[in-house]
């Protein structure tokens, strides 16, 4: 690439320090308000920019990429997940895609444990009781939850985040089990004290807690479908801080309402902000607004990686966090 300042379009408001640094380095167009770009605005952006910096709220599919101008050579995603980008089509059109791996690992793992605690110890119910002013004091049988120590935790997806969850889980005395596309190396299993299950069905049927930590791909869509959810024990809970599409949300809602699953903690949803209203009504469900990675430190690190990827590309080299089709 030439040494001229690249034209960079950012699709959402980013932390101020990140926007300032982008402005210092590139010819950057920033968003004035913190709302997603419309389809028309995205189409205009990719026709004129050298680099697009999208987020998970932007769907960069093959139809949109067909409108890309000849200048667009890099999509530097602000975030680790890239299921909203058609990476294969981008590469066919000579457009590189980068992301920000590792920046959300610790924060998302923290939130996973927080959701497990919130569901099993009924924390939101207790909070609602206190805020209503109806609490009448301690009682031996009031607000009984469950102890974590000794329970079996089944982690679905043992990548960076899954392993970070496992490390935290051991601190709480949970027994760690996992299902993964590939089995971990023996030394990692020993470090995490984790048991691998080749059969997801068999693992699901024996766990007290299921934590979904795998990415959304065609292979993982509705991986926790109605049939598999029915394998769970009636007193088991499920937590999802990964992608909503991995769980059949309607089936989960039906089973929670019927008491066939004890509880759920969800930070992500199958249809984005369009959450099943019947799911919202349940007391045994903790719902969060996709805030698993929402820390000041994490957002800053994501911005730093985006800048490094663009700067490296501008210097004529491959971005260090280049996404390669087939390795997702």
CATH number of the domain that residue 13 is part of: 3.40.50.720
Residues 178 and 195: beta-carbon distance below 8 Å: yes
Regions of the chain where pLDDT drops below 50:
1-3, 328
Report the domain count for the chain.
2
Whether residue 178 is found in the same domain as residue 65 = no
Distance CA(23)–CA(110), nearest Å, equals 32
Which is it for the CA torsion 59, 253, 287, 104, positive or negative? Answer: negative
Q: Within a domain: residue 223? A: yes
Distance CA(111)–CA(265), nearest Å, equals 10
Which is it for the CA torsion 18, 20, 25, 28, positive or negative? Answer: positive
Distance CA(130)–CA(266), nearest Å, equals 23
Whether residue 128 is found in the same domain as residue 241 = yes
Q: Within a domain: residue 1? A: no
Q: What is the pLDDT of residue 72?
A: 96
Whether residue 192 is found in the same domain as residue 303 = no
Q: Within a domain: residue 161? A: yes
Distance CA(83)–CA(71), nearest Å, equals 23
Whether residue 120 is found in the same domain as residue 99 = no
Q: What is the pLDDT of residue 4?
A: 74
Segments forming the whole domain that contains residue 88: 7-103+295-314
Q: What is the pLDDT of residue 147?
A: 97
Phi first, then psi, for residue 73 (nearest 5°) are: -125, -10
Q: What is the pLDDT of residue 275?
A: 93
Distance CA(176)–CA(150), nearest Å, equals 10
Q: Within a domain: residue 328? A: no
Whether residue 137 is found in the same domain as residue 147 = yes
Which one, of 172, 181, 109, 112, lies nearest residue 146 by Cα?
A: 172
Whether residue 158 is found in the same domain as residue 226 = yes
Whether residue 67 is found in the same domain as residue 148 = no
Residues 244 and 273: beta-carbon distance below 8 Å: no
Phi first, then psi, for residue 83 (nearest 5°) are: -70, -10
Q: What is the pLDDT of residue 326?
A: 58
User: How many residues are listed for the chain in this entry?
Assistant: 328
């Amino acid at each position: 690439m030439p040494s001229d300042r690249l034209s960079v379009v950012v699709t959402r408001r980013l932390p101020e320090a990140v926007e300032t640094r982008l402005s210092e380095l590139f010819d950057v167009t920033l968003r004035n308000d913190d709302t997603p770009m419309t389809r028309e605005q995205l189409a205009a952006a990719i026709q004129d920019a050298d680099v697009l910096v999208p987020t998970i709220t932007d769907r960069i599919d093959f139809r949109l990429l067909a409108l890309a101008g000849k200048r667009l050579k890099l999509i530097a995603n602000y975030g680790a997940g890239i299921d909203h980008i058609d990476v294969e089509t981008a590469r066919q059109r000579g457009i590189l895609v980068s992301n920000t791996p590792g920046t959300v690992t610790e924060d998302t793992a923290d939130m996973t444990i927080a959701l497990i605690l919130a569901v099993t110890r009924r924390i939101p119910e207790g909070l609602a009781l206190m805020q209503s002013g109806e609490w009448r004091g301690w009682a031996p049988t009031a607000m009984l939850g469950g102890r974590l120590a000794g329970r079996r935790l089944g982690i679905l997806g043992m990548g960076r985040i899954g392993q970070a969850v496992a490390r935290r889980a051991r601190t709480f005395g949970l027994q760690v089990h996992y299902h993964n596309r590939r089995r971990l190396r023996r030394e990692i299993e020993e470090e995490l004290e984790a048991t691998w299950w080749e059969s997801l069905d068999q693992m699901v049927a024996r766990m007290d807690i299921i934590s979904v930590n795998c990415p959304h791909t065609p292979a993982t869509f509705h991986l926790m479908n109605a049939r598999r959810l029915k394998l769970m024990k009636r007193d088991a809970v499920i937590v999802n801080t990964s992608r909503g599409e991995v769980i059949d949300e309607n089936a989960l809602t039906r089973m929670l309402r019927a008491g066939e699953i004890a509880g759920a903690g969800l930070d992500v949803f199958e249809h984005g902000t369009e959450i099943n209203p019947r799911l919202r009504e349940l007391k045994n469900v903790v719902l969060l607004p996709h805030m698993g990675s929402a820390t000041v430190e994490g957002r800053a690190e994501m911005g730093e990686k985006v800048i490094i990827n663009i700067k490296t590309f501008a210097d004529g080299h491959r971005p260090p966090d280049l996404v390669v089709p087939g390795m997702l």
